[in-house]
Amino acid sequence: MVTSKLIILDRDGVINEDSDQYIKSAAEWRAIPGSLEAIARLNQHGYRVAVATNQAGLARGLFDMRTLNAIHQKLHLEAQTVGAHVNAIFFCPHAPEDFCDCRKPRPGMLRAIGQRFDIQLTGTPFVGDSLRDLQAAFEVGCTPYLVRTGKGKRTIETGGLPPGTIVLDNLAAAAEHLLNSIQHKTETVELARSVLLKEKNK
């Protein structure tokens, strides 16, 4: 299995249902239908999966680290039931007024992911549902994918998407698009190689 590929996902609105009141407990965390299966499919094609999520609810006192750990434990356990694996979850615990470097749309969290996985982020797919996700992705050279789940439809209506943003219905559609693109590139390379060999053997 190829292990050099990485995809970065926002959490709320991409993997699980979002809430304007924050996800404050494990009971409130509910996977979007098909999202965990999409992660499993990406895993099967050699992708490591990292999550990059803003969690201002910590700074606002809406939940504590123990609760956040329980939410992520539920994510991991439910992922395992469908054969999916999330390699790492990165989160920003700060409020917007803290002006930290890790809260999206700032790029600190994504750069930390690049360092952890020892990978250049240029061209790495990032799937989000908000403009700040796309802005952070664009700044570090990731390929931005916007899904219509979560805040996605609102983000489309607001506009101002970074150049090259790919808009799709959900994470399952994003995974399908990404894997089809890779397959097409592979077939194109193989066709070119075949033509060159035929020319060489004439």
Distance CA 168, CA 165 (A): 10
Q: CA neighbours within 13 Å on the CB side: how many for 139? A: 16
- Catalytic position from the list 12, 18, 129, 133: 12
Contacts of 139 (CB under 8 A, 6+ apart): 105, 107, 110
- Name which of 193, 177, 151 is nearest 16 in CA terms: 151
Q: How far is CA 185 from CA 49, 128, 137, 144, 188, in A?
A: 22, 24, 23, 19, 5
- Catalytic position from the list 10, 18, 129, 133: 10
User: Does 10 qualify as catalytic in the annotation?
Assistant: yes
Distance CA 123, CA 120 (A): 8
Judge if the upstream peptide bond of residue 105 is cis by omega within 30 degrees of 0: yes
Written as six digits, the tokens of 171 are 């994470």
166: β partners: 145
Catalytic residues, by residue number, are: 10, 12
